[in-house]
């Protein structure tokens, strides 16, 4: 029997930390740069949107000082028009940024799914033995959507609010370096909190993705094998299995909720400390000389706090995307079926010969974890001969047949077809000689005719 489902060796070897995250970012950036013009345009629109925040705070100073204090009529006429124009520009930039980033992000998802599905078609059979089909499908659908969230909405917020924060901080330092320095007192503390939360989000996200696959696997097994479950009375056992994976998923989701619910109030508390410090320093005397300057500073600070809050909450989506990206690239990096043969084969005579064939299943891909199945098998089947393999369950009958189309690579010996090692043939030519009636009935979501003619679809 195939090795039990387990995590892929490549996935387990992924580094958990900044280096792994940087590698995922670089590879995702490669997909993004396939649409670099739209990406650059979206970034430009994002920068324009971010610039409107400090611009609005800056307008507060002349509106108060010139308009209400000095009663400058010209300023009172110009400032409202500037505010309207500013928000019109802000709206256009917001649309261009959001749509542009979404267009690029969905393109990245399209490419990733295309590459993943193409990879699934070329993976060795052992990968499907080691991974439940629901986990592979979950990578293709759920994990890729997590990357979409990180590549569109999360990245938009990250870039936009980072630029907004820099612009607002710059304006605050321009108005009053002393008051702006109050923000820097709590900066390192906030940074430590954000780093801790980001790493925790990432760890939990990996566990959630695994648990979702486990839930789907158990449910799929029951749905596909409902007759077996009923005839052997396995309802209680399957119920326990589902409860186990369902509870695990629930625990991980609650851990994510606790982390999210804790991080936001902590950041907000730090923001309140900053606000209190600003008010205190302003009360005892600063370099702020006018009411307009103070209101402009407070406006910039109030606009800065939501941006900082969004930056702390967006880490969850980014870390989920990173965890999903690692899983996706582990699949894309998996070695494919070996197809190094060059001998053409148009029509085989059908002479099959096994010479000293030895084969072992790998439990996790390591040399030390092997499950021997076949030992020194010798078998000669002449062309046209009908042969039945009889033996106990798990004796290696199916495995022996699977070696002919090279679903698995043997450890030793030779499998020959018409006097030549099957590895000398091109895989497509070799498998074209074989009519396959497997133990599992497979019906594709297509017409009856195309199911019957599968493999010769051009004639269906």
Q: Please check whether residue 73 lies inside any domain of the structure.
A: yes
Distance CA 263, CA 191 (A): 12
pLDDT for residue 450: 77
Identify the helix (H) or strand (E) that includes residue 356. Answer: strand 352-362
- Using alpha carbons, list the distances in angstroms from residue 380 to 180, 372, 409: 85, 22, 19
- Residue 304 shares a structural domain with residue 428: no
pLDDT band at residue 200 using 50, 70 and 90 as cut-offs:
confident
pLDDT band at residue 10 using 50, 70 and 90 as cut-offs:
very low
- Residue 117 shares a structural domain with residue 248: yes
Choose among 40, 38, 34, 83: nearest CA to 58.
83
- As beta bridge partners, residue 374 has 359
Tens-place pLDDT, residues 109-152: 899 999 999 999 888 888 888 887 878 888 888 888 888 777 67
pLDDT for residue 261: 81
Q: Please check whether residue 460 lies inside any domain of the structure.
A: no
- Residue 361 shares a structural domain with residue 320: no
- Residue 324 shares a structural domain with residue 360: no
- Residue 321 shares a structural domain with residue 386: no
Q: Please check whether residue 448 lies inside any domain of the structure.
A: no
Are residues 48 and 14 in contact, defined by beta-carbon separation less than 8 angstroms?
Answer: no
How many domains does the chain contain in total? 2
Tens-place pLDDT, residues 318-329: 777 888 888 899
Reply yes or no on whether the pLDDT at 14 is more than 60.
no
- Residue 328 shares a structural domain with residue 361: no
Q: Please check whether residue 100 lies inside any domain of the structure.
A: yes
Please tell me which residue, 365 or 262, carries the higher pLDDT value.
262
Distance CA 79, CA 88 (A): 14
Q: Which residue has the tokens 């590459």?
A: 115
Choose among 243, 308, 249: nearest CA to 274.
308
* CATH number, domain containing residue 170: 1.20.1560.10
DSSP-derived letter for residue 454 is T
pLDDT band at residue 304 using 50, 70 and 90 as cut-offs:
confident
Distance CA 49, CA 249 (A): 39
Reply yes or no on whether the pLDDT at 8 is more than 60.
no
- Using alpha carbons, list the distances in angstroms from residue 193 to 63, 181, 199, 393, 412: 38, 20, 10, 56, 55
Reply yes or no on whether the pLDDT at 367 is more than 50.
no
- Residue 88 shares a structural domain with residue 229: yes
Q: Please check whether residue 344 lies inside any domain of the structure.
A: no
- Residue 235 shares a structural domain with residue 283: yes
201-210, 245-254, 283-292: lowest mean pLDDT where?
A: 283-292
Identify the helix (H) or strand (E) that includes residue 211. Answer: helix 187-224
Identify the helix (H) or strand (E) that includes residue 62. Answer: helix 36-62
Q: Please check whether residue 103 lies inside any domain of the structure.
A: yes
- Residue 385 shares a structural domain with residue 276: no
pLDDT band at residue 425 using 50, 70 and 90 as cut-offs:
very high
Say how many C-beta atoms besides its own lie within 10 A of residue 454's C-beta: 14
- Residue 27 shares a structural domain with residue 55: yes
- Residue 305 shares a structural domain with residue 360: no
Tens-place pLDDT, residues 26-47: 888 888 888 889 988 999 999 9
Please tell me the pTM assigned to this model: 0.67
* CATH number, domain containing residue 411: 3.40.50.300
High-pLDDT (> 90) share of the chain, %: 17
Say how many C-beta atoms besides its own lie within 10 A of residue 227's C-beta: 8
- Residue 410 shares a structural domain with residue 327: no
- Taking all residues of the chain, what is their mean pLDDT, rounded to a whole number? 81
Domain with 249 in it:
9-332
Q: Please check whether residue 341 lies inside any domain of the structure.
A: no
């Amino acid at each position: 029997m195939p090795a039990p489902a387990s995590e892929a060796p490549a996935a387990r070897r992924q580094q958990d930390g900044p280096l792994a995250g940087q590698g995922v970012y670089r590879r995702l950036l490669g997909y993004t740069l396939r649409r670099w013009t739209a990406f650059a345009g979206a970034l430009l629109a994002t920068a324009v949107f971010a610039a409107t925040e400090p611009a609005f705070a800056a307008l507060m100073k002349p509106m108060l000082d010139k308009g209400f204090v000095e009663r400058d009529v010209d300023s009172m006429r110009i400032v409202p028009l500037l505010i309207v124009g500013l928000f019109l520009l802000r709206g256009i930039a917001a649309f261009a940024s959001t749509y542009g980033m979404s267009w690029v992000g969905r393109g990245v998802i399209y490419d990733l799914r295309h590459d993943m599905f193409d990879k699934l078609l070329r993976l060795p059979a052992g990968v499907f033995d080691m991974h439940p089909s629901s986990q592979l499908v979950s990578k293709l659908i759920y994990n890729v959507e997590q990357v979409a969230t990180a590549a569109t909405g999360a990245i938009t917020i990250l870039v936009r609010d980072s630029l907004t924060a820099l612009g607002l901080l710059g304006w605050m330092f321009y108005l009053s370096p002393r008051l702006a320095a109050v923000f820097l007192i709590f900066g390192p503390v906030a940074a430590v909190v954000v780093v801790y939360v980001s790493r925790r989000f990432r760890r939990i996200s990996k566990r959630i993705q695994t648990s979702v696959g486990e839930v789907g696997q158990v449910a799929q097994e029951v749905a596909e094998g409902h007759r077996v479950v009923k005839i052997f009375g396995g309802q209680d056992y399957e119920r326990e299995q589902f409860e186990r994976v369902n509870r695990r998923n629930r625990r991980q989701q609650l851990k994510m909720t606790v982390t999210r619910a804790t991080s936001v109030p902590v950041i907000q508390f730090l923001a309140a400390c900053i606000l209190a410090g600003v008010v205190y320093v302003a009360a005892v005397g600063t370099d702020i000389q006018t009411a307009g300057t103070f209101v402009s500073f407070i406006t910039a600070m109030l606009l800065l706090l939501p941006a900082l809050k969004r930056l702390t909450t967006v880490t969850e989506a980014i870390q989920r995307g990173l965890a999903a990206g690692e899983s996706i690239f582990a699949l894309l990096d998996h070695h494919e079926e070996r197809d190094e043969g060059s001998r053409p084969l148009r029509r085989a005579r059908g002479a099959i010969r096994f010479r000293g064939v030895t084969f072992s299943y790998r439990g996790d891909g390591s040399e030390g974890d092997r499950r021997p199945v076949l030992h020194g098998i010798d078998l000669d089947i002449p062309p046209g001969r009908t042969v039945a393999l009889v033996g106990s369950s798990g004796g290696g009958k199916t495995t022996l047949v699977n070696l002919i189309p090279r679903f698995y690579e043997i450890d030793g010996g030779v499998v020959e077809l018409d006097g030549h090692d099957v590895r000398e043939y091109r895989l497509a030519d070799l498998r074209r000689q074989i009519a396959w009636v497997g133990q599992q009935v497979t019906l594709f979501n297509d017409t009856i005719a195309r199911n019957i003619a599968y493999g010769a679809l051009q004639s269906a």
